[in-house]
Amino acid sequence: MILLLVGDEDIIRRGFLVTIQKLELRFDLILEARDGEEGLRLFENYHPDIVITDIRMPLMDGLTFIQKSREISHESRFIVLSGYNDFEYARTALRYEVRDYLLKPSSKAEIRDVLLRVMEEIQKAETESSALKERLDDYDLRLNQFHQLLLGDILLGKYADAEIAPLLSHHAISLPEQGEGFMICRDLEALYGFLLSSLMQYRNAVTGKRNTAAIESVHSPIDRAIAYIDQNYYKELDLALLSQLVSMNSSYFSSQFKKKTGLSFSTYLQNVRLEKAKNMLLHSDQKLHEISAAIGIGNVKYFCRLFKNYTGVTPTEYKRQFQISDS
């Protein structure tokens, strides 16, 4: 289990580190960051299980850090570290699914109790996730069997009409026994649509989610997620939302998304936004803060920093370069 400590006050952060080490709570790795920006880099690289973060920090405050981290992963548990004057900030943090908060200074017992409570919650979630994975593995096995039936034996005419219904029934799919419905399903395209719909119903029964229009599409879930990002890049998007939209487990969605695009979800979303920003810089008279807001990045300083990391130049320099080349 990995723990990340984020805070600009070295004495307090190091004090927490020493206290937690003495508690011997079986952390495999404990990381430290002096501000939200450093914390965000460590978060993306290590995906910590638990994050303890201060609220008031330079460069990037704790609430912004939590919000940006949620765009990378929805699995980590956050604990907010706050002073008495920060209590309203701590309450605001609850909107980002912060699990708990600790007041400065905190006793060894308080730190232990909060960490043990969150660790127990993680272990429970992992047990449930393991059970769900087994059910999804069973789904994948059935899916492969369905594909073989659909694209192989059935559509190649290897089975008589009377044999098709028992075959599908064996794999938990029902087919009209007789009449017009059965004849419609004997049409190649209609049979494919029927089986695909049945597959999605089976998947939703396993994951406890309802059918949606998006799921019934013949395109892959990752393709639909990419199309959704391209059309809604300016909205507040995160991994949990996209995986829910395409009815996939968030961890599996994350791995498949990277396999398809070569990028993590957060990096892909960031690149789409920055490409849109490049286009706006060249083809509009909007100010930087307007462009930043239009692509879904509320902090213009953060936008400028991302833009320079992406292109090697600032937004202003980028626009000036193309103006010079056009003149």
Query: What is the share, in percent, of the chain residues with pLDDT greater than 90?
Result: 29
Q: What is the mean pLDDT of residues 75-91?
A: 73
**In this predicted model, what pLDDT tens digit does every residue of 1-13 receive, in sequence order?**
899 999 999 888 9
8 A C-beta contact, residue 168 and residue 149: yes
Q: What is the pLDDT of residue 88?
A: 64
Nearest Cα neighbor of 289 from 266, 315, 269, 313 is 315
| CA distance to 4, 177, 207, 238, per residue, from 233 (Å) | 29, 47, 27, 10
Eight-state DSSP code of residue 32:
E
- Determine which helix (DSSP H) or strand (DSSP E) holds 5, and give its type and residue range: strand 2-6
Q: What is the pLDDT of residue 140?
A: 65
Q: What is the pLDDT of residue 24?
A: 85
Q: What is the pLDDT of residue 90?
A: 58
> What values do phi and psi take at 53, rounded to 5?
-130, 140
**In this predicted model, what pLDDT tens digit does every residue of 116-144 receive, in sequence order?**
999 988 888 888 777 777 776 666 666 66
Distance CA 80, CA 94 (A): 9
